[in-house]
Amino acid sequence: MTAVHQARAVLETRAVVGESPLWDAREGVLWWTDIPRGELHRYHPQSGRDTLRAAFPAPLSAVALRAHGGLLLALGDTVAAFRSDAGDTGDTSTTGATEPEPLARFALPSADHRLNDGRCDAQGRFWIGSMSTTGESGTSALHRIEGAGGAAHVTTVLTGVSISNGLDWSPDGTVAYYADSPTREVAVFDCTGPGLHRTGTLARFTDRVPDGLTVDAEGGVWVALFGGHAVHRYLPDGTLDAIVAVPAAKVTSCAFGGADLRTLYITTASRGLSEAELGDQPMAGSLFACEPGIVGVPPHPYAG
């Protein structure tokens, strides 16, 4: 029987497009972004405080940990290293931070393209996809970055992508799950060779769009459903195992966090909703959470 859980709002805010929730055990906080505003947020669960760490002029679509401290950010057409050195003031104003240091800049097809979702694998490499902001089909890609500074090396892994979104790996690293959102499916790839070899489809959707996703310690795949008011958990054989109902339609991503990695954090968006829809969804754009009884996997840091 499919388990059903209810998400609760832990931070009532009106993010335009909340994204990239990332648990940082070093500080006991959850990082998350508001993409079009270029905002990097730091949410502290114990106090319930959310601090705006930085606001950038470019869209901030993804954030990852760095093994040597600090963060990796996907900003517009650039992946950059970033360190926020100021202490937590406990308010919601912007705190002091260093300037991001470019690690890799991408020659995207046009000014109407930008980087989108990204994640590090167990080898400490950062995978980052791109997208067209005007709905152009098949003109984007999925890339992999490794190395530091001027020695960073970029490999293009997949081409012909439209909106590169959720990506994560099975606990043993042999299988990857990936969502190119307009395809309305989560694809399955074999990772035992030098590249990605598609082997099948985990799930298909008709009236909702797969966005960000994460894999738990048991190998279950949690998929945020944009337009679906939910996060779904699928077993590796494609069985729908659990549903997390979210009181906001545009669910964008999810990640496990907390000291025991038992809390599923969920980001949402408010962009594009009419006044009537915003009235029906007063918590659209908020940060949600639930405890579904499953343990997550710590995020891998970037090795460079």
Query: What is the average per-residue pLDDT within 114-125?
Result: 97
Cα gap 70→22, rounded to integer Å: 13
Cα gap 4→24, rounded to integer Å: 27
Pairing state between β 29-34 and 164-169: unpaired
41: CB partners within 8 A, 6+ apart: 31, 32, 33, 34, 50, 51, 52, 53
Q: Give me the pLDDT at residue 85, please.
A: 59
Q: Which residue has the tokens 């001027």?
A: 150
What Å distances lie between residue 32 and 21, 181, 273, CA to CA?
A: 4, 20, 21
Q: What angle do CA 301, 302, 304 make, to 5 degrees?
A: 140
Q: Give me the pLDDT at residue 97, please.
A: 57
pLDDT band at 44 (very low <50, low <70, confident <90, very high): very high
What Å distances lie between residue 298 and 21, 82, 121, 212, CA to CA?
A: 12, 20, 11, 16
Task: Report the share of the chain in percent with pLDDT over 90.
Answer: 91
- Contact predicate 225/234, CB 8 Å: no
Write the pLDDT tens digit of every residue in 141-180.
999 999 987 678 999 999 999 999 999 999 999 999 999 9
What Å distances lie between residue 8 and 11, 132, 247, 295, CA to CA?
A: 9, 32, 8, 18
Write the pLDDT tens digit of every residue in 234-267.
999 999 999 999 999 999 999 999 999 999 999 9
Cα gap 23→64, rounded to integer Å: 9
Q: Give me the pLDDT at residue 182, please.
A: 97
What CATH number matches the domain at 3-290, 3.40.50.1000, 3.40.190.10, 2.170.130.30, 2.120.10.30?
Answer: 2.120.10.30
Tell me the DSSP string of 256-269. Answer: EESTTS-EEEEEEB
Write the pLDDT tens digit of every residue in 73-118.
999 999 999 997 544 434 444 445 579 999 999 999 999 999 999 9
- Contact predicate 45/258, CB 8 Å: yes
- Given a cut of 80, whether residue 21 has pLDDT beyond it is yes
Cα gap 78→157, rounded to integer Å: 17
- Given a cut of 60, whether residue 61 has pLDDT beyond it is yes
- Contact predicate 64/301, CB 8 Å: yes
Q: What is the residue-averaged pLDDT of the chain?
A: 94
- Contact predicate 166/226, CB 8 Å: no
- H or E stretch at 277: helix 275-280
Q: Please give the model's pTM, rounded to 2 decimal places.
A: 0.95
Residue 285 falls in which region: left (phi positive, over 0), alpha (psi -120 to 50) or beta: left
Cα gap 215→201, rounded to integer Å: 15
Cα gap 191→176, rounded to integer Å: 7
What Å distances lie between residue 179 and 155, 175, 182, CA to CA?
A: 19, 14, 9
Burial annotation 156-189 (CB, 10 A radius, 16+ → b, else e) = ebbeebbbbbbbbbbeeeebbbbbbbbbebbbbb
Q: Give me the pLDDT at residue 195, please.
A: 82
